[in-house]
Structure 1
């Protein structure tokens, strides 16, 4: 065999090996479902797109309606989603129903995560707050400073929007009714306590123009000036304000919560999904999220990379000063009571 032939064969083998490696990288893919709007756009820019580029994993994005979609896929045996964004409470209940795969923390490193911001079935992606927001054209800077103000239609006349599902809807009503934040979940741990919260919402109901169903919706309501105040997620309001919306809010008595990523039971690309979750949980991705939406990282090492300035950190829900004003969501309560409370809430909405 001549030297030229040997060289040609060697080059061909190298090219073949390179192509095989590229093909293997291209074979890895995950389908991720989130909630759309400015939130998913921020996730995409900070997490999904750069992680896809760095790992070679192809990412297909969808929007979805929450764990009800996962329940339908799992029960039908036709699971198409590999990773879903979820509220922490919804994920807790979905895990209890057997709808999620357990996460492998030998693959996903949570050694620098804040305590409590991950579970056996869901890994925290961001920290956010459910706040009371108001239209600054209507109230200027003197909007509602607590939930009692939000529910006071004499002191603050005007139209409201409120959560159309039970998550984050009952706690503000109880605080407005005089229950101390530290006692809220104790009171809610009975049907009588849930009914007390519902009665408070019933009082406000004539002034509620919209029961919102998504973050994109409540942000648009404020951006368009369709309501004078609403409950909702702080980051959505910050983005609405950047887009010219006349909106402000307070962290006082807000609900401190986190969103997380989960893998549906029977996900077609479970191992790749686990690998991808490990990647987007790193500080080098999480420190970019506040550039696109003002939600705090769950990986505390993200505050140490130099990407998050002290000024930006002070505006995030998980900063110590802001966190101290808020009521942390109780996953234990949602796991035990969400189904009962959700049924009672829907009955109230249809009255």
Structure 2
């Protein structure tokens, strides 16, 4: 029996003498967490013996704050968390993330280079979990025709109809507005330019019914038609539509916003070995393809390493050039000023 266990452990990339334990994994709540629980975590446990306790993360910076506060007390609300890129960079400042040894994550060889996240000194602190798109979503009962452009949100017939992400650093509405109305991102290179973009965004105020921090709150309102349009995650909207809800996700002509989450391990975690096994498992091309099929996310590994068909890949991604977040705006020297002006001019 010992021989069998040792062979299985070697096949899975488990360290010699590894004793399967438990791992707390933070993922975004709602449909996303439900899909991971159903399609991913249970199979991981069957294969490795490591039990997963999934933890629903709030969107935005709230989870990062919780992790930082807990780490100062030597505690980890989750051992491994799926972190957005702005939160990854902010966590770096506090050295919140444990450096990861790529030799213990052999499947990292399949990842696209941009999905290996590093500290300034080159140490790896995050591994690409999933990529996703923020798109323009609408209720098909209320709006029979799909919107073609992000500019549709500014139309007078959208008064009191929109649900938008509440933070500059997770809505990326500055980038959306810059590409839609100002010909690209160059205008965001100065305070004066950012203020021009915010003034354009301020024109949206009468059309916004909800600046949301809770994905579930907007999702329910979108499905019921109470808030029939807004920005949301393409993968989650697709899951809702597959469940029969009157929801559509549209890649506008300016592109969807392409963002991603990284697996990161809190320095307070005592489960680094289990975390590395988990991250290695999640980096397998077949698991990334499964995520695309079951959760609706875009793969972080090379497409040619997966067996996704053209149609399957198209359902989670788009050939339209994406809007790329300018993360430095939200983490650099202008970040406090941007957040202050965002509140004063856009969401207040």
TM-score normalized by structure 2?
A: 0.83
How many residues align? The count is: 322
Q: Return the alpha-carbon distance in structure 1 between the equivalents of residues 319 and 100 of structure 2.
A: 27
Q: Return the alpha-carbon distance in structure 1 between the equivalents of residues 78 and 42 of structure 2.
A: 17
Q: Return the alpha-carbon distance in structure 1 between the equivalents of residues 201 and 232 of structure 2.
A: 16
Q: Is the 8 A contact 2:160 2:206 kept in 1?
A: no
1:275–1:224 Cα change, 3 Å: same
Matched, 1:60 2:53: yes
Matches within 5 A, 1:58-137: 58-65=51-58, 66-108=63-105, 109-120=107-118, 121-137=125-141
Name which of structure 1's ranges 53-62 and 89-98 shifts more when overlaid on structure 2.
Answer: 89-98
Deviations 1:38-91 (A, max 9, x none): 111222334322222211112111113321211221233333421011112221
Q: Return the alpha-carbon distance in structure 1 between the equivalents of residues 129 and 103 of structure 2.
A: 18
Aligned residue for 2:117, secondary structure, equals coil
1:269–1:339 Cα change, 3 Å: farther
Shift of 1:157: 5.1
Q: Return the alpha-carbon distance in structure 2 between the equivalents of residues 315 and 215 of structure 1.
A: 21
What is residue 121 of structure 2 aligned with on the other side? none
Aligned residue for 1:119, secondary structure, equals strand
What is residue 328 of structure 1 aligned with on the other side? 324
1:323–1:213 Cα change, 3 Å: farther
Q: Return the alpha-carbon distance in structure 2 between the equivalents of residues 85 and 219 of structure 1.
A: 20
Q: Is the 8 A contact 1:25 1:57 kept in 2?
A: no
What is residue 153 of structure 1 aligned with on the other side? 156
Shift of 1:312: 1.6
Shift of 1:238: 0.9
What is residue 271 of structure 2 aligned with on the other side? 269
1:219–1:338 Cα change, 3 Å: farther
Aligned residue for 2:187, secondary structure, equals helix
Deviations 1:111-143 (A, max 9, x none): 1212212212221111111111122222212x3
Shift of 1:295: 1.2
Shift of 1:305: 4.5
Aligned residue for 2:331, secondary structure, equals helix
1:224–1:94 Cα change, 3 Å: same
Where do 5+ consecutive residues of structure 2 fail to align? 10-16, 119-124
Q: Is the 8 A contact 2:135 2:231 kept in 1?
A: yes
Aligned residue for 2:104, secondary structure, equals coil
What is residue 37 of structure 1 aligned with on the other side? 30
Q: Return the alpha-carbon distance in structure 2 between the equivalents of residues 44 and 340 of structure 1.
A: 39
What is residue 7 of structure 1 aligned with on the other side? none
Select the residue among 282, 296, 299 that pairs with 1:297: 299
Matched, 1:316 2:316: yes
What is residue 187 of structure 2 aligned with on the other side? 187
Q: Is the 8 A contact 1:130 1:256 kept in 2?
A: yes
Q: Compute the RMSD of aligned alpha carbons.
A: 2.7
Q: Return the alpha-carbon distance in structure 1 between the equivalents of residues 37 and 190 of structure 2.
A: 40
What is residue 199 of structure 1 aligned with on the other side? 199
